[in-house]
Chains A and B, each alone.
Chain A
Amino acid sequence: MDKTYSRIYSVDLEKKEIYPHEIKSADNYLKSLNINIEKPTRNSDKEIYKLSASDKLNCDPILCLRCRVSMAIYFECKEIYVKYKKKGVDLFDLSRIALVDDGRKNLRIINGSGKIKKYLINFSFLENKLQNIKIPLFLEIIRTFDFERSNLSTWTKRIVKGDMNIRNYMQEFDIKFIGTWARLADTSTKRIKNSLINYGINKSLLDELICLHQSYKSLYRESKKNHFAKYKTQLGWEPSQEFLKSLDPPQENQENLELIEKALSSLYQPKLESIYSEKDDSKIQEIEFFQSANENESKIRSLMESIKKSSAEVIREILKADKKKWNKDKERKKCWILYSKGMSQREIAEKCNHKQGWVSKLIRENFIGELIANEVLIAIKNKKEFINITKLPDKLDYTKTLIKNQLLSLEQITNRSFLMQIVEEELNK
């Protein structure tokens, strides 16, 4: 028998691990009703939810749902971890924020006078949500669950996405949840059509789904406006029953919209990569060739002098500002030194006992490259040989690429960039 409804995923703070453990009362409850679930589905979610609603004081059916929710949360955490561990995401750190259910039947709440008060977790408790008390994530998922709109696993994903603690943790690593509904509203019909075809949707359904998407797009903004007017936040908008029924064709639930979203994610991941990744290698090679074969020597010399001067000035200013914090945090200095030696952000993070995100925020290499490149361009723009950069955007783009390439590319022998060398020089002054 599947254990989805009778096994809970909890965090062991001492051992620093996540462990699934059987909940006997949940298991016994299912057995007592002869419920044998092979695989969790929307129907099984609905069935157990209905049982809990009809037996409001019984903790066991809610406990079964809590097990189901804990697994969904754990898988969500694991997925995030697998995808972003290189960015420093830690499965345990994330899980201790998200997996807070220990399987007990009581919820302990510290009241205003500091005393712990216990509440039995049953359907009645969720219905009469206590005033001014924020219930934990796992209960919020069950409390808001609407089996008419989706299964409990999808519902869990949605609520996890909106949880501020998890969002804040992920934002430390510059990771965000993709807003399903915002994404559907932003995407063009052309792209939706391509993804549906690629997903294997047949012609008759294809037309219906395209029509549905267009109708969704046209109604989304107005509905979001109403949501904002009511809740004073843009977060948490979900298509309501009323909204679903107003679509063309009217929808009973979110299934078709979810299908469009699945098709879309399978073909297109949001292209929100850094603009620094727009680097065009062929262009850079072309510049190098140009530089060595055709470029006027004095022009190169003039450019190199400006790069060196501007780099030193910009780095000096940055280090001067950062030095003020070195007394409080010695790792900052170490971080700059390691950078000047040619280490990658990941290596620096390991040596400094910090997360990679901390290093990338301290040494904003690309941004520094930008500042220097602009300083160089301003310094040379009135020189006769560079006058075109003030008139022709193409020439300006080209010269800037050349400067940034000179600054940030790693030299083959030393495995260090020009920028790293300048940082070393300025640190040694």
Chain B
Amino acid sequence: MIDNNKNSSDYSLIPEEAILLDKPIKFGEERKVVLDALRISIKERKLNYGIGPITDLGNPLKNIRINNFSIKIITTGIYADEVEIKPNEIEYKHFPPQLILLAQIDDEYDYVFFKGVLTAEEFSKLVPQKINKDDYFSLEVDLFKGGINRFFTFIQVLNPEFIKSLREDKKLSPLINLRKRAAYITAGITAGLAILLGSNLSPTPKLASIQSQQVAMFSTLRGNQGEAVKNICLVTPEISYTSDELINFSEIKVNKPLIYISSPSQKLLIIKNGSIVWESSEILGPIRWPVKGIQKGDDVLLRIKPSDTPIGMETKIRLLPSDESFLDLDLIANGLKDNQNKWIREINKNVKTDKVLALSLLFSEFAPKTNKILNAKEQLIENTKCK
């Protein structure tokens, strides 16, 4: 026997990208801690993403959804060199995974280290050709590349429409099936960029990052339910994810969110706690919240029907008041008074972290009617037109 003691060590470094959790990890809560770690990462990067689906999120077999990507999370211990996967533990129904993310958990030092991510295409090449659904196969953890950073770059930059998803028969689906494709909001399609120029001596609204999202319309007719034909362009509210029931969810942090649909729509209905409280036809462009401000606990549903698609097509958006902070728009506006620079600074402060609040302020009836603000509105409308 050789004595290799000199080479061994009882210590190692905690990786730079490890996400330290605030609380000790409880036994059996691997899924929860991975989701917590993802939330910490999202916050640290100041991204405005939610994690879906809203129901059954804690189920380890369920794929999660962030920014319209379907993601399979695999967890293993921090010292693992291989991870064991059973085909039966991958969810193929509804939204098969496009990305496979490996999280390594250190339950003694309470951190999560995202080893890396594989696209469904990369992953499918590694799955053995012949394998029973109930048998495990092993993959080396080093095959998962790029850590949490590769993951966030993927979900921020890639267009989910072009990223294939994994299918049960191990073939890849390019998501051409309309039902599946339509379930995703094809985010990141920039309708336009509004860069507003002005004097360097006073602030100008910086709205370069404002993009519109394309949101799928679904058929409500019997026999075609779930089929989608077309998308609408939506600037606000922002969609965090789409549920299995094909309802889009948007977390809002302000009680009077701006509704801004940049493609022609026939009808917009606001349904509050089960009753229609507002209805309008032929809407286009930004609409200030037309009814009493939303309160925490309200169930608010927007139903949007476009003018140029067959009867029975619509998009549903459920607005969820945020648990973290829920602001009164009028109070903020009141605090800013008529000071243009204060308004612009407040808008700029929020433009990256809370687009809905920023634009709700920009289009607020109390916003100063100065050239800078008016130009900003005009250019934003011009540049976010649906193309």
Contacts and interface: CB of A to CB of B under 8 A. Distances in A.
Q: Do A and B bind each other?
A: yes
Interface of A: 79-80, 83-84, 157, 161, 167, 170-171, 174-180, 182-183, 185-188, 190-191, 199-201, 224-225, 228-229, 233-235, 262-263, 265-276, 278, 360, 366, 370-371, 373-374, 377-378, 381-382, 389-393, 396-397, 400
Interface in B141-166: 142, 145-150, 152-154, 156-159, 162-163
B14 A178 contact: no
A275 B163 CA distance: 24
Contacts of A389: 157-158
A234 B14 contact: no
B5 A262 contact: yes
Contacts of B107: 182, 234
A200 B1 contact: yes
7 contacts: A79-B9, A178-B11, A178-B12, A182-B106, A262-B4, A266-B7, A275-B148
A175 B14 contact: yes
B79 A186 contact: yes
A379 to B, nearest CB: 8
B11 A175 contact: yes
Interface string B128-149: 0000000000100010011111
Nearest to B25: A234
Given A186-B79, A393-B154, 6 more contacts: A79-B11, A176-B108, A178-B10, A272-B12, A275-B115, A377-B153
A218 to B, nearest CB: 13
A403 B188 CA distance: 20
Q: Which 10 A-B pairs have the closest CB atoms?
A: A266-B4, A275-B147, A265-B8, A186-B77, A228-B27, A186-B79, A391-B162, A183-B79, A186-B80, A188-B82
Nearest to B163: A393
Contacts of B7: 265-266
A245 B73 CA distance: 36
Nearest to B13: A174
B222 interface: no
Contact of A174 (B16, B81, B119): B16
A contact patch SS: helix
Interface of B: 1-2, 4-5, 7-17, 24-28, 45, 76-82, 106-109, 113, 115-116, 119, 121-122, 138, 142, 145-150, 152-154, 156-159, 162-163, 188-190, 209
A55 B45 CA distance: 62
Contacts of A176: 11-14, 106, 108-109
B190 A382 contact: yes
Contact of A265 (B9, B109, B190): B9
B2 A374 contact: no
A270 B7 CA distance: 13
Contact of A273 (B10, B15, B148, B189): B15
B79 A182 contact: yes
A273 B12 CA distance: 9
A187 B80 contact: yes
B16 A371 contact: no
Nearest to A233: B24
B10 A157 contact: yes
A374 B152 CA distance: 8
Given A228-B26, A262-B5, A275-B17, A191 B81 contact: yes
Nearest to A268: B81
A400 B152 CA distance: 12
A360 B108 CA distance: 24
B153 to A, nearest CB: 6
Contacts of B13: 174-176, 272-273
A376 B45 CA distance: 14
A199 B188 CA distance: 54
Contacts of B162: 390-392
